[in-house]
Every structure is written in structure tokens, then in C-alpha cells.
Structure 1
Amino acid sequence: MVMSETITKQKRVAAIFESFNKHLKNFLEETKPNHEEYTEFVKWADRLGKTGELPLFMDVFIETHVLRSMYSDKPGTEPSLLGPFYLEDAPVLEKPYKLPMRDNEKGEKLIFSGTVRNIDGEPLANTLVDMWHDDADGEYSAFGADAPDYNLRGRFYTDENGYFEVESIVPIPYQIPTQGATGEFLEIMGQHPYRPAHLHIMFEQEGYETLITQVFFEGDEWLESDVADGVRSSLLTKLHDNGDHKSASLDFVMRNK
């Protein structure tokens, strides 16, 4: 069985590389870069790797297209980027669910809720929900924010009806890092570095594909030009003003494996 899986994987890698090589040749024939341009590209790619920005670049410019090609004709909630700011093993919360935050956490209180179902509309009880997002300064814990590693990060479970509700703060738009090779590329392309405000959310349930997606809010100025092209209309929700807090909700559908 292991040998068979290895051979299948090798064939798949070979087929992908063959296709990539064919399209690369067509691309070079079409664009006809000169050797100076090629050399500058190699230097830039070297900087991208040495500064550890390859995951950032792939998240911003490649991942969204991979996801679209994978799921464009499949039922269920559309996936969106995992992003470079995910941390494994976020704390598992107790009810009532509230993401860990500092005592003096800035930002507007948010109550976010939703349901998780399968493609037949059946509620998925005890689905593990992993949620994380930026703070009121546009920073992620463990990636620049002056906060504990798991600030505004947590895992919790849906109830018997597939429902969940969690307290946090309203995320804000932010710009991706621009000091390195990714920033150089954005400047050359004339592209701004901003992402609209969003929640990252991941769902895990036995017998179903892990769903990694994001939630966006209507009216955000960067929705139409998200630098990572991660916005999907089906992932938009409305922020409701409830006086002392904001609320929003969205329902999710997981695919069978």
C-alpha cells in the first residue's frame, strides 16, 4: 500500500512539473525576457527566500488561485486563505466562548455567531472551530503585536444544533509586510498592500474535509481590491450595531471527504 501511494505521488508530481514546464516555455516565448531581467528576477527570488517571505508571497499571490481551481465547481462554503499568521494549538475555550484578550484590549466588542452543516443541511454537532484575527492596531499576536502569543486566538465547539457564538473584537483592515521582497514586488506592480478586515476561521469534523475560510464585512473600503484577492461574495456579512457591541453571523457548510 505504501509503495503504491509513493508511485502515485511520484506520477502526480511528474505530471504537474511537466505541465508547469510546458506553460513556462510558452510564457517565456510570449514575454521574451532578456538576460538582465532574468538575472534581476533571480536576485529578487533569492531575497524572497533568504528573508523568509516565500510563504507570505505565496499566500498573497498564489494560494487564492489554487483554492479557486480546487473548489469552483464544488458545493459547500467557499474556502479562503489560511494566511501566514496562523498558529497551531490555540487554547480550547470554555463556554461562554470568548477569545483570549488583554485586560485593556482596544477595539469594539464583537459577538460572532453561525451554524455549521453538511451539504445535505444536517447540523454538525461538536465541530471544532478555530478562530483568529488581528487586533485594533492591525497586528496578529506572535507576529508583531505586543501581546501574548494566543491573543485573539481560540478553539471551541459547535453545540448539538451545529451552532456557535463567540465574543471577540471587531478586526480592522491592515497592510501586509512591505519591508522586503514582497513589498518590492507590490511597488513595481503599483499594488497597494491592504487587506480588508476579516476573521480567519477553520472547521474540523470527522468524516469531512477541513474547511479553512475567512469572513468579511460589508462596506469595507478594501473589499474590491484586497491585495490577496481572498474576498468571496458568499463570505460577506453585515456588522450590526447593538449599542454596546457589534454583532455578525454567517452559516457554513462542510464537504464530505
Structure 2
Amino acid sequence: MQQQQVTKKNERVEEVFNLFITHIQRFLEEAKLNHEEYTNFVKWADRLGRKGELPLFADVFFETHVLNAMYSDKPGTQPSLLGPYFLEGSPLIESVPGQPCVLTQRPDEDGEVFYFKGNVKNTDGKPLANTKVEIWHNDNSAKYSGFDSDAPKYNLRGHLYTDDNGDFEVKTIVPLPYSIPTEGPTGEFLTYMDQHSMRPAHLHIMFEKEAHETLITQVFFEGDEWLDTDVAEGVRPDLMTKLEDHGDHKRASLDFIMRTDE
């Protein structure tokens, strides 16, 4: 006889689930859906899951609000979306003293040459040396390597470490604005809402340092036409910087503040 697996009660799961169900029930009462509308919603939600788009939908419509609730009243750099295009195992970018690290890229990588500088401190203003800095972004066709792209798996991806002053600099190309996928249920939902699918150009950066909270954030550029209407609502004022034109290349910089573990 097969022994039944015993699952221990989790009070936090129970608390959140009950709150979720309560709000869904209130939503259904307030929206006054008829049975056809309710059935269509259930079928749409089923397609969302079967197409594997639940993480995408959650990124676009929920994650920003989770982050706001967690960090809006805390010191330090505001986090932003991890996004669906992160890949584990990016290569280490070797540093040469006095020179920027070069993000992994093809020899003939198309795009505007871009130098990005940053500095990392804690909330007390102490520079954080040897902080791991993971960077990834899209290419000049607005695609991410490893996802719907013919580029090598870790193209325009890599990690490096800050120097003794908490500084780092990377040479790459300027990222582009892009549309989230629109062929599936998420795009269908945006059409119903008469909402565009664009995200402003951005760098993804993740900082990891012992005894500090991992900081997952993004860097945006002043003047981008999609800043105010980012479909994922991921833009924060303190995550914007100026993209400076130096003729044959662009430059930008931004400082970051990490919170210590509580």
C-alpha cells in the first residue's frame, strides 16, 4: 500500500492564499462578470499557463508592485525587474588595470560602442570592493542571446568585480528599446487594453556581495521615448542616467547603494 505523503502546514502560505482568494472574490463581485465573461477569462488564463507565459505576464503586471511594496521606504538603490531574459552561468570578464572590462560579444558586433561606469557603496557610504557585478542586455536587433536570437548563448552577458574603490567600467554597445512578446495570451491582453508592448532601452545589472542583500536592478537613459509608458512599469527616477555622445562612442555612469542583510 502506497504511503500518503504528509505535507506540513505552512502558516505564511495559508495567510497569503486566503488573502489572494478574498481579493479575487471581491474583484469578481465588483466586476460583475457574466458567465460568458468568466468562462472566457478562465480559458484565457488556461492558455496563459499552457503557453508558458505566466512568468512574462507576472513580470509585466505584478513584479514592479511587489518591489515597490518591499523597498519604497528603504534606503539604497531601488531594485527593478529581473526580467525573463536572465541566464545563469555567464562568463567572467577579465579585468586589466586602467582599462574597461569588455562585455562578451562577437568580433563584428553591430551597434554603437558604449562605456558604462558605476560605483558601489553600502548605505553608510563605504565603497564595496570585490562586489560581483552581473550585466546583460539586448543586441542591435533588440534581441537577447539565448532567447530568439542567433547570437552565441552568452553574447552581451558577463560578470566582473569592483575594484578597491567599488568602481567598475564595462565596454559594450548601446541597448535598444524592444517589444515584449505579443504573439500569445499576454499580447492578446495588451490588445484588449489598447496598450503598447514596448520597454525603454536598459541595462540589466545584478550586484552580489557577502553580508548584503542582492541588488537586482536596471539602468535607463534620459530621453528614451518609452520611459513614461514602460509596459512593465520598471522605470525609477534614480535608475535613469544621461547617455553622453562622444562622437565615435557613448558614455554613461551611475552609482549604486547596496543594503546590508537584515
TM-score (norm 2): 0.94
- How big is the shift at 1:112? 0.2
> Which one is further off, 90-99 or 168-177?
90-99
Q: Deviations over 1:153-207 (max 9, x none)?
A: 0000000000000000000100011000111000001000000000000000000
- The structure richer in helix per residue is 1
1:174 aligns with 2:196: no
1:89 aligns with 2:93: no
Distance 1:30 1:42 in 2: 17
Which residue of structure 1 aligns with residue 251 of structure 2?
247
1:136 aligns with 2:127: no
Which residue of structure 2 aligns with residue 30 of structure 1?
30
SS of corresponding position for 1:147: coil
* Of 202, 222, 232, the match for 1:218: 222
Which residue of structure 2 aligns with residue 200 of structure 1?
204
Identity rate of aligned residues, in percent?
65
* Of 222, 225, 233, the match for 1:229: 233
SS of corresponding position for 1:250: strand
Distance 1:203 1:10 in 2: 31
Q: Deviations over 1:137-164 (max 9, x none)?
A: 1000010111000000000000000000
User: What is the 5 A alignment of 1:7-86?
Assistant: 10-86=10-86
> Which one is further off, 209-218 or 36-45?
36-45
Q: CA RMSD in A?
A: 1.2
Distance 1:135 1:161 in 2: 30
1:146 aligns with 2:150: yes
> Which one is further off, 25-34 or 187-196?
25-34
* Of 152, 156, 160, the match for 2:160: 156
Which residue of structure 2 aligns with residue 112 of structure 1?
116
Distance 1:50 1:27 in 2: 24
SS of corresponding position for 2:135: strand
Q: Deviations over 1:44-103 (max 9, x none)?
A: 111111111111111111111110011011000000000000001100110141111111
SS of corresponding position for 1:251: strand
Distance 1:99 1:152 in 2: 6
Q: After TM superposition, which residue ranges in structure 1, 4 or more long, deviate above 6 angstroms?
A: none
- How big is the shift at 1:13? 0.9
Distance 2:16 2:71 in 1: 18
TM-score (norm 1): 0.96
**One-letter amino acid of the counterpart of residue 209, structure 1:** E
Unpaired runs of 5+ in structure 1?
1-5
**One-letter amino acid of the counterpart of residue 90, structure 2:** A
SS of corresponding position for 2:171: strand
